[in-house]
Amino acid sequence: MENEYGEVGIDGDLLKDRRIEVKEINSGCICCTIKGDFKQNILDIISNYRPDRIIIEPSGVANFSQVLESIKEAHIEGLRINMKITMVDAQNVHMYMKNFGDFYRSQLVNANTIILTRVEKLSDNEITHVCNEIKTINNKANIITTELSKLSPERIIQVSEKKVENLIENINIKKPKRIGLRRVSAPEFFENWGVETPKTFEYSELVKILNEFQNNKHGEVLRAKGIIKSKDNKWFKFDFVPNDISIVNYKSDYTGRVCVIGRNLNKDSIDKLFS
């Protein structure tokens, strides 16, 4: 079950390319606007596919605790939560903690497994520091520091379903703090902009746009992703988070699609870039 926060869906098609059955929910943050339909969506999946597992992948701006509440309140026989996983951008964790406070900490407190991303960009000492900081908030979660390209799904399941000791070695773990979290929902922090566009781009043009997101020229952009057509009739898939840009070749699509998430977005100026 894949939920995107925004008007334009992108990730669902990427998952379907890998022959994964996907139930898309694009009507807003999963914990805010579709709570009443949540149970029916789950029942539809069980009826149509009879899966061993249902993976619920909320938008990154969903409140983890509210997602868990929606699952528990569904009261579906035979359904249980056995993995609660949060992916943490190790390169930007300090900035996110500072800027988003209780909302961000909620993602950590409610996880039993935390996967660090972009660890290949950090030194061993920097990774250790990130792990220590996370452990002050949640000292019971397993923290996986393996690069994503080397991390198998089987290993994630093994770690998440059973407590694995000594996943992180030689780390002087700090004593966890007692944390009281104020309930915060995504709309208090984030806004989004999305568009379907036939506009074509040179590779260099796309790099320039994403670099402008880096310097907050169009507001505080926390996430941007899209599939767009190049001027030589090829396609690019791009991803942006602060301090990291990825642009790769992609298969042809029916039209270009872009989604931008952040705070204080200058939607008019972003629209001029892509429309």
Full domain range(s) for residue 240: 190-274
Same-domain check for residues 233 and 148: no
Of the two residues 79 and 20, the one the predictor is more confident about is 79
Res. 164 pLDDT band, cuts 50 70 90: very low
Q: Does some domain include residue 37?
A: yes
At CA 188, angle to CA 212 and CA 111, rounded to 5?
A: 90
Are 31 and 153 in the same domain?
yes
Q: How far apart are CA 176 and CA 31, in angstroms?
A: 28
Contacts of 70 (CB under 8 A, 6+ apart): 30, 31, 35, 38
d(CA 171, CA 145): 12
pLDDT, greater one: 211 or 101: 211
Query: Do 148 and 200 sit in the same domain of this protein?
Result: no
The confidence score (pLDDT) of residue 8 equals 56
CB 137 within 8 A of CB 179: yes
Q: Identify any residues that bridge with 238 across adjacent strands, giving them in sequence order.
A: 226, 247
Is residue 31 over pLDDT 60?
Answer: no
In this prediction, residue 26 carries a pLDDT of 53
- Please tell me whether residues 145 and 18 are part of one structural domain: yes
Alpha-carbon dihedral sign for residues 161, 31, 79, 40: negative
CB 210 within 8 A of CB 238: yes
Taking the C-alpha atoms of residue 233 and residue 202, their distance in angstroms, rounded to an integer, is 10
**Which residues neighbour 234 within 8 Å (Cβ) at sequence distance 6 or greater?**
249
Averaged pLDDT for residues 248-263? 88
Using the 3D structure, point to which of 144, 161, 178 is the last residue of a domain: 161
Confidence of residue 5 (pLDDT cuts 50, 70, 90): low
pLDDT band at 43 (very low <50, low <70, confident <90, very high): confident
Give domain status of residue 35, yes or no. Answer: yes
The verdict on 247 and 118 lying in the same domain is no
The last residue of a domain, from among 140, 161, 182: 161
**pLDDT (mean) for 245-260:** 89
- Mean pLDDT value of segment 178-204: 73
Of 182 and 151, the structure prediction assigns the larger pLDDT to 151
Same domain for 138 and 221, yes or no, is: no
Question: How many domains in the chain?
Answer: 2
Q: Are residues 12 and 95 in the same domain?
A: yes
Give the pLDDT confidence score for residue 224 in this predicted structure: 93
Residue 125 located in a structural domain: yes
Is residue 73 a part of any domain in this protein?
yes
Non-local CB neighbours of 241 within 8 Å, separated by 6+ positions? 89, 92, 222, 223
Sequence-ordered list of residues with C-beta below 8 angstroms from that of 216, at least 6 positions apart, any chain: none
Give the pLDDT of residue 32. 45
Position 236 scores a pLDDT of 94
CATH number of the CATH domain containing 41:
3.40.50.300
Greatest mean pLDDT among 4-8, 35-39, 182-186: 35-39
pLDDT in tens, 100-133: 888 888 889 999 999 999 999 999 999 999 999 9
pLDDT at residue 275, rounded to an integer: 80
Q: What CATH number does the domain containing 246 carry?
A: 3.30.1220.10
Q: Is residue 176 part of a domain?
A: no
Residue carrying structure tokens 């300090």: 94
Q: Are residues 237 and 155 in the same domain?
A: no
Same domain, 90 and 42: yes
Residues 46 and 142 occupy one common structural domain: yes
In a domain, 25, yes or no: yes
pLDDT confidence of 19, banded at 50, 70, 90? low
**172 in any annotated domain:** no
DSSP state, residue 80: -
Contact 93, 243 (CB under 8 A): no
- Verify that 152 and 266 share a domain, yes or no: no
Q: Which residue has the tokens 């074509």?
A: 200
Domain assignment present for residue 47? The answer is yes
Residues 139 and 53 in one domain: yes
Task: Quickly count: other Cβ atoms within 10 Å of residue 51's Cβ.
Answer: 10
Question: pTM value?
Answer: 0.72
For 50-105, the pLDDT digits (tens) are: 888 888 887 666 778 878 887 888 788 888 888 999 999 999 999 888 888 888 88
